[in-house]
Structure 1
Amino acid sequence: MKKLVFLLAGFFSVFPVVAQKKNFTYKFYGFVRGDLFYNTRANMAPVDGNFYLYPLDKKPDADGKDLNGTPNGSFYTFTSRLGLDATGPNIGTARTSAKVEMDFGGFSGNTTVLRIRQAYVALDWDKSNVTIGQTWHPLFGAVFPDILNLSTGAPFQPFNREPQIRYQYKAGKIKLTASALWQLQYLSSGPNGMSEEYIKNSCIPEFYIGADFAPGNGWLAGAGVHMISLKPRTSTVWNDKTYKVNERMTTYSYEAHLKYTGQNYTFAAKSLMASCLDHTALLGGYGISSINPDNGEQEYTPFRHSTSWVNFTYGTKWKTHFFAGYTKNLGTTESLVSDTKYGMGLDIDQLFSANLAFSYNLPHWQMGLEYMPTTAWYGKTDKENGKVTDTHSVTNHRILGLVMYYF
């Protein structure tokens, strides 16, 4: 931590000299954030419990007592954020800019470390722009829930930042988006766990194409298509021999979103037919549909999930937030030949969450309290269609207190 303090001190002491470069402007921003939370049971919650997703299934001990039925809670400030927006001299008719944004939400052993959230350069013309670097995944988009929880609606709302090349074009009230994306911090699942290697060995990035329509009067609507193509393995051991294999799993996802912004209230909603989007903090993944008896080469089938959410807020200084999300496992397109599955939450048939929050907002300040019950229906996977049967429900109650100071 001392090294980090000296690093930041040196950065700020040197930066005023750098800031004197001609035709450059700089703007610092960020916030200090504190999260105090309590859960009634164990949960799938990365970032040391701060990024809350859903309750874990029952885990009986020798006496039948649920090992996951233990309350937990803590207080953290490591999601505090620091960012820099910079503009530079034009390149031809293109306006140039860059962003670097970081927080302390990376983990190494038992301590937090500085991590990059966003880092990109942009070229902006009147009707089009190009972004190169790491920023928000287009499935996160311009429509996302306004709630207090750090997960921002996940696992119903996609949450992901990836290195990408993005092109946007504005034609009147319509904005078109095309992106090619690679994985870095948010990773797909596979035989070696969560790893970058599946998209790297694929040599095919993720692709997204979408459109937004803003007719005015506070309305925004849009839709998009996403493709991902993974290579789970390049070799396999079969009958005590090692073989080179050529495996690929390619699938598509579809999303639609809507938002209305009134004078002191907002309504937003999004729905997805999601396939293998576990790297965006959604339930999803894939299974094995066939195995070659000669060399063990496998073919794969994706799990399909229907997921939707709605969000309503009212007020400005005193603000009420309501959120509800629902996900349904629709199974696989082909039957499964193995119990092995890669992904997140594939033994969940349905997931439902509600969220009620109140916040007090002042210039540079936000304080709030949030209650969030979440129920997951766990069961067994039917190999014939990939659906989850013989379900039982598990519920977690989460209470969150939040304080933020913006600068």
Structure 2
Amino acid sequence: MNKQLLVLLITLFGITSYTGNSQTVNTDKKIGINWSGLVKTDFMYDTRQVVNAREGHFNILPAAENLVNGEDLNNQSNFNILSIHTRLKAAISGPDFFGMKTSGAIEAAFFGNSDATVGELRLRHAFVQLSNEKIEIIMGQYWHPMFVTAVFPGTYSFNTGVPFQPFSRNPQLRITTKGKIKFIGALFTERDFQTRGASVSKSGIPQFHAQLQLGKAAETLGGVGFNVKSSQPNLGDDNLTSTAFIGYFRTKLGKATWKAEATYGENMTDLLQIGGFGTAGNGDFVNNKTLSMWTEFSGDFSETMEWGLFGGYTKNGGFGEAITYVNGFLGTVENAYRVAPRIGWKSGALTIGVEGEYTNAQYGSIDVNGDITSSTDAVNNFRLVTSAIYAF
């Protein structure tokens, strides 16, 4: 287990006890910590080998054909049981900072940073927040602005719709205005989720994101956003500039909720999107373009039963010119789609959920024009997930 995080959590628990006692003596003391989290166990069965993280827990796409003597070795099933999605969060409150309310959060999970460290603590979120009636400021590690916390898939599978849904957590400075019309602006870099084959930090320029959001999550909400990233493949190289766009909404349809989102961008491997960048014949770097979209319907059958239906599609737009080298993530996937229905039973703090996840992927190759063309048969996987989720 990561000793630093363990020590930090023990220290925070001690502070909780101390501040709880000190408040009875000094009413001016306003430091406090509230603990929350979840214990989650997933039972997972796949009909095919998959591209994944953490021993198959984070399912991305079915693996491409691996033909040996005419037999596809990846056409084999897999089963696992894991509890590494379990996590713990400390929400911290404190005195005002020049008239602005202050708070903070530290959250860790047992997901590890690689397959070799599965079961060890991994930092998810760590940030300080300032707020007043007009704005909210976040400083620290939090969700990428293109992971919209008001509009994301509610799947039981931990992949949360990847690779159709952007997914990343980033160290950042974010400012959000309040009201029915919100502006979100963020400067950030990369940590656990990084651009494949290039460095944002070494470019000397932080990523920038601007987003406009209208409405309220409890009613109807929508938004659009723009992202620009500079990254440097090697020291001394010119920076590669990549842009991305997002549009999303959610609304109520009777007792059901409808969500939808679309992204289009360049070199979005840091968001676990297919694609990347390549090198042209003249040595220039060229972005790969990717379109992704998803939609979801969800609701409750009753106070004790919930349901959902997720659907996603992604398309590799290629490079637009001839390239000689590719750096990316599943860069030869021509397209992929997923359909995932789910149903859950909930009572008190416990939810038992069952989800079927059918994913189809068409692998291809890069032609002389930099386009992705289908070169093999499509492969598919059906994952059956049963999750026990105890939230506290």
TM-score computed with the length of structure 2 as normaliser: 0.92
Counterpart residue number, 2:270: 279
Between 51-60 and 213-222, the greater mean CA deviation after superposition: 213-222
Q: Which amino acid aligns with 2:221?
A: L
Shift of 1:392: 2.0
- Is the CA contact (8 Å cut-off) linking 2:344 and 2:351 kept in structure 1? yes
CA–CA separation in structure 2 for the residues paired with 1:404 and 1:38? 18
1:56 matches 2:81 = no
SS in 2 for 1:384: coil
- Is the CA contact (8 Å cut-off) linking 1:287 and 1:336 kept in structure 2? no
- Is the CA contact (8 Å cut-off) linking 1:329 and 1:388 kept in structure 2? no
The structure-2 alpha-carbon separation of the partners of 1:6 and 1:272, relative to structure 1 and needing over 3 Å to count, comes to closer
- Is the CA contact (8 Å cut-off) linking 1:349 and 1:377 kept in structure 2? yes
Q: Which amino acid aligns with 1:86?
A: I
- Is the CA contact (8 Å cut-off) linking 1:130 and 1:168 kept in structure 2? yes
Counterpart residue number, 1:83: 89
Shift of 1:47: 2.2
- Is the CA contact (8 Å cut-off) linking 2:164 and 2:292 kept in structure 1? yes
Residue among 122, 126, 143 paired with 1:119: 126
1:336 matches 2:322 = yes
Counterpart residue number, 1:207: 208
CA–CA separation in structure 2 for the residues paired with 1:179 and 1:115? 24
- Is the CA contact (8 Å cut-off) linking 1:272 and 1:306 kept in structure 2? yes
1:393 matches 2:364 = no
SS in 2 for 1:45: strand
SS in 1 for 2:105: strand
Q: Which amino acid aligns with 2:174?
A: R
CA–CA separation in structure 2 for the residues paired with 1:215 and 1:133? 25
1:165 matches 2:173 = yes
Q: How does 1:91-170 map to 2 (within 5 A)?
A: 91-107=97-113, 109=116, 111-141=118-148, 142-170=150-178
Shift of 1:57: 0.5
- Is the CA contact (8 Å cut-off) linking 2:2 and 2:120 kept in structure 1? no
| % identity of equivalent residues | 27
- Is the CA contact (8 Å cut-off) linking 1:273 and 1:307 kept in structure 2? yes
Q: Which amino acid aligns with 1:249?
A: L
CA–CA separation in structure 1 for the residues paired with 2:12 and 2:333? 47
Counterpart residue number, 1:193: none
Shift of 1:314: 2.1
1:347 matches 2:332 = yes
1:132-157 deviations in whole A, cap 9, x for unaligned? 00001110012101111101111101
- Is the CA contact (8 Å cut-off) linking 1:248 and 1:299 kept in structure 2? no
CA–CA separation in structure 1 for the residues paired with 2:122 and 2:231? 26
CA–CA separation in structure 1 for the residues paired with 2:3 and 2:272? 32
TM-score computed with the length of structure 1 as normaliser: 0.89
Counterpart residue number, 1:220: 221
Shift of 1:69: 1.3
1:252-298 deviations in whole A, cap 9, x for unaligned? 1111001013563211000011211111111121111233xxxxxx3
- Is the CA contact (8 Å cut-off) linking 1:274 and 1:284 kept in structure 2? no
SS in 1 for 2:270: helix
CA–CA separation in structure 1 for the residues paired with 2:276 and 2:118? 30
Counterpart residue number, 1:229: 230
Counterpart residue number, 2:247: 256
Root mean square deviation, CA, Å: 2.1
1:42-67 deviations in whole A, cap 9, x for unaligned? 11111221111101100011x22112
5+ long unaligned stretches in structure 1: 191-196, 235-244, 292-297
CA–CA separation in structure 2 for the residues paired with 1:53 and 1:384? 28
Shift of 1:169: 1.2
1:189 matches 2:196 = yes
Counterpart residue number, 1:27: 34
Between 351-360 and 261-270, the greater mean CA deviation after superposition: 261-270
Shift of 1:387: 2.4
The structure-2 alpha-carbon separation of the partners of 1:382 and 1:131, relative to structure 1 and needing over 3 Å to count, comes to same
The structure-2 alpha-carbon separation of the partners of 1:213 and 1:14, relative to structure 1 and needing over 3 Å to count, comes to closer
Counterpart residue number, 2:257: 266
The structure-2 alpha-carbon separation of the partners of 1:287 and 1:266, relative to structure 1 and needing over 3 Å to count, comes to same
The structure-2 alpha-carbon separation of the partners of 1:6 and 1:184, relative to structure 1 and needing over 3 Å to count, comes to closer
SS in 2 for 1:70: coil
CA–CA separation in structure 1 for the residues paired with 2:3 and 2:131? 37
Aligned length: 381
Shift of 1:25: 2.4
